[in-house]
Amino acid sequence: MAELLLSAEGLDKVYGTGEAATHAMRGVSFEVAEGEFAAIIGQSGSGKSTLLNMLGLLDTPTAGRVVYRGTDTATLDKRKRAELRNELIGFVFQFHYLLPEFTVFENVAMPALIAGTTAPSEIRARAFETLAMLDLDGVEDKNANQLSGGQKQRVAIARALMNRPAIVLADEPTGNLDTVNTNLVYDLFRKINKETGTAFMIVTHDRNVAQRTDRILEISDGQLVQDVRSA
């Protein structure tokens, strides 16, 4: 039995107050073990991205809490949350969000540079290793804008993996990619998951994609309506 990585406990998210209040999330609870490969599915506007943002410590729940490896993140100040995000979590978004002012290498190295705890030589070695893992050898010194759409998303994935996070949270990571690149990205996710033990939670509206994961959490109207593990 894998150890517990995170637990979401009774997550509520309410936008606005009084009669204008909108419940984007109601009492969502589940646990994620180290190394899990899971998908969060749901209709557009169901609250799956809201959930992912709360798990990623980018957003705070109105009620409930997110606990990472025994640490209740609700007790942390902004700086500690940022540090925890940098250390434990990698993000892959629908848009690659690469920094156009920096080279591919610098984009990938950025999470380690932000952490500021690793020697430059080690950062360089790890960034090159990560890029190689994603078949991105030779593009290190290119500007992010010089890459194709598929390459950009793979660089974004490399960046998410740079600090060897415990979990990668991916929000519609293939939303802007064609079928070939979509399959490539999911194969990569699976490969990294198996090789490094990094957990993945992938938000998608595509049930076919979700079925390639080991666990599907379905969100509907801000509630967890299904939590199914594959056999």
Partner 1 sequence: MLSLRIAWRFLRSSPVQSGLIVGGIAVGIAVQVFVGSLITSLQASLVDQTIGSAPQITIRAEKDGDPVVFSQRVQDVIAEQPRIVKRTVVPVRNATALFTDGTDSAPLNLIGGDLRQLDGIYRLTTRTEEGAASLRSTEIMVGTDFAKKFSITPGDTISLALQGGSRASFTVSGIFDLGSAAFNERQAFVAASVPQNVLGWSSTEYSSVQMQLDEPFASAEVAAAMRAKLPGVRVSEWQAENADLLVALQSQGSSSYIIQTFVLVAIALGIASTLAIAAVQKTRQIGILKAMGLSDGDAGRIFLWQAIIMGGAGSAAGVGLAYFLLFGFSFSGASFTIEPRLPFVLGSAAVGIGVALASSIIPTRRTSRLDPIEVIQSG
76 binds partner 1 (CB under 8 A): no
- Applying CB under 8 A, among 95, 117, 191, 194 the residue interacting with partner 1 is 95
Nearer to partner 1 among residue 97 and residue 125 (C-beta): 97
Least Å from the CB of residue 41 to partner 1: 19
Nearer to partner 1 among residue 12 and residue 83 (C-beta): 83
25 closest CA partner among 81, 71, 66, 85: 66
Under a CB-based contact definition with an 8 Å cutoff, are residues 99 and 110 in contact? yes
β-sheet with 63-68: strand ranges across: 22-33, 4-15, 63-68, 71-72
Nearer to partner 1 among residue 99 and residue 228 (C-beta): 99
87 binds partner 1 (CB under 8 A): yes
Nearer to partner 1 among residue 155 and residue 216 (C-beta): 155
- The 130-159 contact track toward partner 1, x by CB under 8 A, reads -----------------------------x
β-pairing, 22-33 vs 4-15, is antiparallel
Angstrom distance (rounded) from CA 171 to CA 147: 21
Please enumerate in sequence order all residues whose Cβ is within 8 A of that of 194, keeping only pairs 6 or more positions apart, or say none.
Answer: none
Least Å from the CB of residue 122 to partner 1: 16
Under a CB-based contact definition with an 8 Å cutoff, are residues 14 and 211 in contact? no
Segment 190 to 229, residues that bind partner 1, using CB under 8 A: none
Angstrom distance (rounded) from CA 151 to CA 141: 14
- The 35-54 contact track toward partner 1, x by CB under 8 A, reads --------------x---x-
Tell me 141's DSSP state: T
16 binds partner 1 (CB under 8 A): no
Q: Mark the segment that binds partner 1 (CB under 8 A) among 27-35, 76-84, 118-126, 181-189.
A: 76-84
DSSP H stretches of helix in 39-196: 48-55, 78-88, 104-115, 120-133, 149-161, 179-196
Segment 173 to 192, residues that bind partner 1, using CB under 8 A: none
Angstrom distance (rounded) from CA 59 to CA 81: 11
- The 103-132 contact track toward partner 1, x by CB under 8 A, reads -------xx-xxxx----------------
59 binds partner 1 (CB under 8 A): yes
β-pairing, 37-41 vs 199-204, is parallel
**Footprint on this chain of partner 1 (rule: CB under 8 A):** 49, 53, 56, 58-59, 78-79, 82-83, 85-87, 91, 93-95, 97, 99-102, 110-111, 113-116, 159, 171
